[in-house]
């Protein structure tokens, strides 16, 4: 693996829907202007056959690898993307975009509504995972890519990969679904519901119209992040990292302020999160995850699976209790029931749900091996088609 990774990269902006070319959402609502922030790494082959699309998770963005000027501050999946890494940018053309509804350059609740010039707020239409995919597909077409060699994503990113392959057969040669679910459990929905309540009950939420106000719902958003972050870690990783150590003192202060290291860590996570994320985006994307149920209609699912030609790799981590291995097995069983080519591995890692973001050697080898197989099959396919 390359130690240095990618160098300086830039986030680009493109308008994908505008004027008469509206984006029609699954709800029937229409967006008349959709701008997308994205980054690319590597070089697209002349035949456009080496492209891999990265779908980010709930709090991710387009900046997946490299840096924007400070080599110490790198993209959220930098350990996976770059020269010699599993998503080898010497071989693959890697694309990552901020999702629809996002707050890092792509049109979302904080964007101006063309009809009023004011931020949408909660007037932004409700989103489904399929809507995120539609925007990804438009970006792929704009970049001159036909069939993707693969798409990969963890958590919400994995949901996007699964939806893409189901709804648009022929567009993905391979799908890598990591630490994801095809249907949130009641417990998962409950965690997200409490996080949303924390945001909406913040006195500064202002019904979602806090843009331009002196105060934003930062307290609620920070609390939502703290709640969510607990579910991303495992008890093992928290014990190893924090134990019951006291923060900045020789003995417990025995008050209600921050005393334990884990409390300080969660407060830091919350405070830093509000500097880069929008509360309304958190509401919209968690709600899209709640309703995600791509296998819910048995008749439609059977038809989609019969048409699918994507080869899948589904991965889970043994310490992930947010989207446990049983969630992954449910995806595998559904795909196998439709005779879809799918491989599955449960990997050992101590980091909980966040394991998909970590440089776990066996995880990286598994991803690299799957992409290698896809590349070999893609190279062989033209020969077979041509009778060579």
The residues assigned a catalytic role are: 155, 320, 353
Q: What number of CA atoms fall less than 13 Å from residue 86's CA on the CB side? A: 23
Helix (H, G, I), strand (E, B) or coil at 216: coil
Beta-bridged to residue 154, according to DSSP, are 178
Beta-bridged to residue 314, according to DSSP, are 177, 344
User: Is the distance from CB of 195 to CB of 222 less than 8 angstroms?
Assistant: no
Which is nearest to 258 in space by CA: 239, 245, 275? 245
Q: What count of other Cβ atoms lies within 10 Å of the Cβ of residue 314?
A: 27
DSSP state of 143: T
Residue 110 — φ and ψ, nearest 5°?
-85, -10
The first and second tokens of residue 92, run together, are 């693959």
If phi over 0 gives left and psi between -120 and 50 gives alpha, with beta otherwise, what is residue 58? alpha
Which is nearest to 96 in space by CA: 151, 175, 158? 151
* Antiparallel, parallel or unpaired: β 311-317 and 87-88: unpaired
């Amino acid at each position: 693996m390359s130690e240095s990774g990618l160098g300086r990269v830039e986030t680009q902006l493109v308008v994908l829907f505008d004027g008469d070319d509206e984006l029609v959402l699954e709800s029937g609502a229409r967006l008349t202007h959709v701008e997308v922030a994205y980054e690319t790494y590597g070089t697209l082959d002349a035949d456009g056959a080496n492209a891999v699309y990265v779908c980010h998770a709930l709090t991710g963005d387009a900046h997946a690898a490299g840096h924007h000027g400070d080599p110490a501050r790198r993209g959220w999946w930098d350990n996976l993307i770059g020269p010699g890494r599993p998503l080898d940018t010497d071989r693959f053309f890697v694309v990552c975009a901020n999702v629809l509804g996002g707050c890092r350059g792509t049109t979302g609740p904080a964007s101006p509504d063309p009809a009023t010039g004011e931020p949408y707020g909660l007037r932004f239409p409700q989103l489904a995972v399929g809507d995120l995919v539609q925007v990804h597909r438009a970006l792929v077409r704009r970049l001159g890519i036909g069939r993707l060699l693969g798409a990969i994503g963890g958590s919400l990113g994995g949901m996007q990969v699964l939806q893409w392959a189901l709804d648009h057969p022929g567009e993905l040669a391979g799908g890598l679904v990591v630490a994801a679910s095809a249907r949130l459990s009641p417990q998962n929905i409950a965690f997200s519901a409490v996080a949303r309540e924390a945001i909406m009950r913040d006195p500064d939420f202002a019904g979602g119209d806090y843009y331009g106000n002196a105060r934003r719902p930062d307290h609620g958003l920070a609390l939502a992040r703290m709640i969510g972050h607990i579910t991303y870690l495992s008890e093992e990783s928290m014990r190893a990292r924090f134990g019951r150590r006291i923060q900045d003192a020789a003995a417990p202060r025995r008050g209600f302020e921050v005393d334990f290291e884990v409390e300080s860590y969660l407060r830091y996570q919350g405070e830093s999160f509000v500097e880069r994320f929008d509360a309304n985006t958190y509401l919209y994307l968690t709600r899209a995850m709640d309703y995600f149920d791509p296998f819910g209609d048995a008749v439609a699912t059977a038809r989609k699976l019969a048409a699918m030609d994507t080869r899948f790799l589904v991965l889970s981590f043994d310490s992930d209790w947010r989207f446990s291995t049983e969630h992954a097995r449910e995806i595998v069983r559904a795909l196998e029931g439709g005779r879809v080519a799918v491989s599955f591995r449960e990997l050992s890692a101590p980091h909980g749900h966040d394991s998909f973001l970590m440089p776990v050697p066996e995880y990286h080898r598994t991803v690299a091996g799957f992409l290698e197989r896809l590349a070999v099959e893609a190279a062989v396919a033209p020969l077979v088609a041509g009778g060579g």
